[in-house]
Structure 1
């Protein structure tokens, strides 16, 4: 695995019907990268991987270090080798995404995004752990908890995925946040950047690992389903 490869376990599409059982251990996942995002079995919270450490933001809002034996149904990781892309300031979340696209110069490549700095406001969410029999991905919206923080220092990190690979990924930006004091974070729904240093990393290779030995995955039928619409509803 090189710095030009983005590694992904599972797909967004497999989460749509409720395939939330963990199918890879965190320790194995981190053999493919030192940085990334994901979730645990049952969509239990939001993961942030930074410098080889894995943090979970739970639905309670608490942040903890994840054990290597815990399992993920979906995650992305890579080896950090960012390029500095300047600083940005006083941007609402939607405007920030637009500026990132300008800096990237294309919407047809995978990118890792990292912004460290001061945020005027951050709006996040984390889903509570689901139990078997698992609900659909869209249904988990009722189990998510939302959080807000003002004037917080931290890191916004995650990925941009091209629409070319919709289904395997959620097209567009998928970003998580973790405060410097590890007291706040989650999947980012909105906010405003006060001032931050932007780093980008483009990938030339996308390695997708599938849970082919999982019985539920082998039997699931995705034909004819409105997978992309449901991914959009769940991610936004």
Structure 2
């Protein structure tokens, strides 16, 4: 374990690396507004790194080094084309700075230490963890068909995967509590193995040994799908937004292993 350098990490304004771009909100997924309203090609104009989900919650997306991968119900990562559509995603221009090295630490404790070291509970930032995970549990949503179910109903339509001794990259975004609904308060993390055969939305993990890098944002660009009739006309006042997001982003019982 090394001493964290997080407090020295500041927003980098060159090349717009201080900006987090987000299309859609997690809140719009709650009532089942799952139509794709942007494309990977458009998203990549705003960054080379990111996460999201496809139309109909078609898998878990992770973008690294300008390449987008989707992890579907097989658990295997596959590249997606520029015309792949999404209801929700975010991206940024990577300018990660070394924070520290950790070993033999669980996901909850790791995330807690990252926030404490950053001293940025009210700030958006991204974290990359590269290393070996002695255990990791991920999930992938099974693609839904219109008419789309609500986010809570999808909880029974997901595949869960367990792996041991996996080398890879965990990419996460931290959002402040005050933005819960636009995003999920706290961490939202996706994983991609180095051999690209495994990944998904991270539910739990134990980092055997790895390096942590952080990137802080001082600007959030929120892009809304105002041309989509379903979004434009929906009454969100009747939706249990906070509860549904918290439930959907947490652990669920396995659909398959």
TM-score (norm 2): 0.91
**Alignment coverage as a number of residue pairs:** 236
Name which of 147, 169, 182 aligns with 1:168: 182
1:146-189, Cα deviation, whole Å (9 max, x unpaired): 00110000001020000111111110000000000001100000
Please name the residue that 1:21 is paired with. 35
Structure 2 residue ranges without an equivalent (≥5) = 1-14, 251-257
Q: Using the alignment, how far apart are the partners of 1:12 and 1:225 within structure 2?
A: 12
Q: Using the alignment, how far apart are the partners of 1:52 and 1:103 within structure 2?
A: 28
Deviates more, 1:201-210 or 1:56-65: 56-65
State the shift of 1:60 in Å.
1.5
Name which of 140, 143, 155 aligns with 2:157: 143
Structure 1 residue ranges without an equivalent (≥5) = none
Please tell me whether residue 48 in structure 1 is matched to residue 59 in structure 2: no
Please tell me whether residue 205 in structure 1 is matched to residue 219 in structure 2: yes
Q: Using the alignment, how far apart are the partners of 1:60 and 1:20 within structure 2?
A: 21
Name which of 97, 103, 107 aligns with 1:89: 103
Q: Using the alignment, how far apart are the partners of 2:154 and 2:213 within structure 1?
A: 32
Q: Using the alignment, how far apart are the partners of 1:133 and 1:222 within structure 2?
A: 18
Please name the residue that 1:67 is paired with. 81
1:118-149, Cα deviation, whole Å (9 max, x unpaired): 10000000000000000000110111000011
1:110-129 aligned at under 5 Å gives the runs 110-129=124-143
1:167-186 aligned at under 5 Å gives the runs 167-186=181-200
State the shift of 1:59 in Å.
1.1
Please tell me whether the aligned partners of residues 30 and 239 of structure 2 are also in contact (alpha carbons under 8 angstroms). no
1:185-204 aligned at under 5 Å gives the runs 185-204=199-218
Name which of 117, 138, 143 aligns with 1:103: 117
Query: 3-state DSSP class of the match of 1:112?
Result: strand
Q: Using the alignment, how far apart are the partners of 2:89 and 2:20 within structure 1?
A: 11
Name which of 16, 19, 29 aligns with 1:5: 19
Please tell me whether the aligned partners of residues 60 and 140 of structure 2 are also in contact (alpha carbons under 8 angstroms). yes
Deviates more, 1:162-171 or 1:202-211: 162-171
RMSD, aligned CA: 0.8
Query: 3-state DSSP class of the match of 1:41?
Result: coil
Please tell me whether residue 77 in structure 1 is matched to residue 123 in structure 2: no
Please name the residue that 2:254 is paired with. none
Q: Using the alignment, how far apart are the partners of 1:106 and 1:74 within structure 2?
A: 24
State the shift of 1:191 in Å.
1.3
Greater fraction strand: 1
TM-score (norm 1): 0.98
1:216-235 aligned at under 5 Å gives the runs 216-235=230-249
Q: Using the alignment, how far apart are the partners of 1:39 and 1:156 within structure 2?
A: 16
